[in-house]
Amino acid sequence: MTVEAPIRPTPAARAISRTAEKWITGVGLGLAALLQGGFTVTINSASRAEFDEKIAPALASTGLTPLGDAYEGARTLAAWFGFSLVIMIFLAAIALFIASRRPARRSTGWWLAGAGAACLVGTQLVLYPVAFFFFLAAALFAVRSTRQGSPE
């Protein structure tokens, strides 16, 4: 009686790990959490007096002069940022889960494209550099081969 060793796939037949896409998505999530989440927490934790004393002069020095009530406008923008951050994290988490379980699926890129779109729409095109990371990862899902090694 002989015991047969399990057959391992050849290096050319192994599925790709999608490590680059996961790292790029992680960088995008980190930047979004830092910038969008930081803005949301800063504005929502500031009182009206603190806003008028510290934040409004900083906004005015950059050339931003709101037409109406600056405090309410900033709080509305912070709400948009926070809501879009939650949506973006949800979509990217789905994409990362699928990329870990089934790295050969190219449709995972659509989840990341949705996360990038949520970043663009939710921040009113302000954080387009952050959205670029999600779009880059989505593009890599579309164009990278799902097999490693040379075709035989």
Least confident of 52-56, 72-76, 103-107, 125-129: 103-107
The answer to whether position 126 is within a domain reads: yes
* Structural domain total, the chain: 1
What is the rounded CA–CA span in Å between residue 87 and residue 68?
A: 28
Reported residue count of the chain is 152
The reported pLDDT for the residue numbered 147 is 64
pLDDT at position 8 over 70: no
The reported pLDDT for the residue numbered 68 is 77
Quickly state the pLDDT bin for 7 (edges 50, 70, 90). Answer: low
pLDDT at position 32 over 60: yes
For the residues 118-128, what does the mean pLDDT come to? Answer: 91
The answer to whether position 149 is within a domain reads: no
For the residues 64-91, what does the mean pLDDT come to? Answer: 88
* 47 or 104, greater pLDDT: 47
**CA proximity to 37, closest of 73, 83, 72:** 83
Exposure string over 16-44, b if 16+ CB within 10 A, otherwise e:
eebeebbebbeebbebbeebbeebbeebe
For the residues 1-12, what does the mean pLDDT come to? Answer: 61
Helix boundaries (H) for the chain: 19-32, 38-45, 48-50, 56-61, 70-101, 108-122, 128-143
The answer to whether position 108 is within a domain reads: yes
The answer to whether position 104 is within a domain reads: yes
pLDDT at position 149 over 90: no
> Structural domain of residue 76, as residue ranges?
18-143
Residue 24 tokens, joined:
């790029």
Q: What percent of the chain has pLDDT over 70?
A: 82
